[in-house]
Amino acid sequence: MNNQDANAFYVGYLPLPRAHRRALRIYIPTLIACIAVLGVAFAFAQRDPGPGAWDTSRLREWTGRLQALPYPVLIDDTDGSALLVVEQGKHGPRQAAHTSGHARLRGWLLERNGRRMIELDPAEDALRISAPTTTPPPRAPGPVVELVGEILDAKCYLGAMKPGDGKAHKACATLCIQGGIPPMLYVDEPSGHRRHYLIIAPDGLSAADIVLPFIGEPVSIRGRLAKLADLDLLFIDTGAVTRR
The whole-number pLDDT of residue 17 equals 81
More confident residue, 122 or 96: 122
Q: Single out the residue of 165, 153, 78, 162 nearest to residue 119, CA to CA.
A: 153
Q: How far apart are the C-alpha atoms of 25 and 121, rounded to whole Å? A: 57
Q: Please report which residue ranges of the chain form alpha helices under DSSP H.
A: 3-6, 18-45, 154-155, 170-178, 208-211
CATH number assigned to the domain covering 144-243: 2.40.50
The whole-number pLDDT of residue 155 equals 96
More confident residue, 43 or 104: 104
Q: Single out the residue of 137, 145, 161 nearest to residue 71, CA to CA.
A: 137
What pTM does this model have?
A: 0.80
Cβ-proximal residues to 97 (8 Å cutoff; 6+ apart), any chain = 66, 68, 72, 85, 120, 127
- Mean residue pLDDT across the chain: 88
Which tens digit of pLDDT belongs to each residue from 4-48?
Answer: 555 667 677 778 788 888 888 899 999 999 999 999 988 888 777
Q: How far apart are the C-alpha atoms of 71 and 94, rounded to whole Å? A: 11
The whole-number pLDDT of residue 144 equals 92
DSSP H or E stretch at residue 64: strand 53-67
pLDDT band at 133 (very low <50, low <70, confident <90, very high): confident
Residue 174 above 90 pLDDT? yes
The whole-number pLDDT of residue 241 equals 96
